[in-house]
Amino acid sequence: MENVIELRELTKTYGTRRGLTGLTLDVVQGEVFGFLGPNGAGKSTTIRLLLDLIRPTAGRATVLGLDPRGD
């Protein structure tokens, strides 16, 4: 099956503060995926990156094979 979400070494920093560090993740088509974690774990930052509301400092993300930053 095909990956509908792919994250590779996704990183986001805010000045000297780390929002997300080196996240690699695959979500396969048809898979039920829960996005859980403690406060400050980077859940909201990851969603904002996937929606192109903010830009990553490093790494790559694709949704349905497209780059959210412009495809």
Say how far apart CA 49 and CA 10 lie, in whole Å. 9
> What pLDDT does residue 69 have?
83
Percent of the chain with pLDDT over 70: 99
pTM: 0.87
Give bridge partners of residue 13 from the DSSP assignment: 18
Query: Tell me: the pLDDT tens digits for 7-38?
Result: 999 999 999 999 999 999 999 999 999 989 99
Say how far apart CA 52 and CA 39 lie, in whole Å. 22
CATH of 3-63, one of 3.40.140.80, 3.40.50.360, 3.40.50.300, 3.60.15.10: 3.40.50.300
> What pLDDT does residue 71 have?
61
Q: Which one, of 9, 25, 4, lies nearest residue 68 by Cα?
A: 4
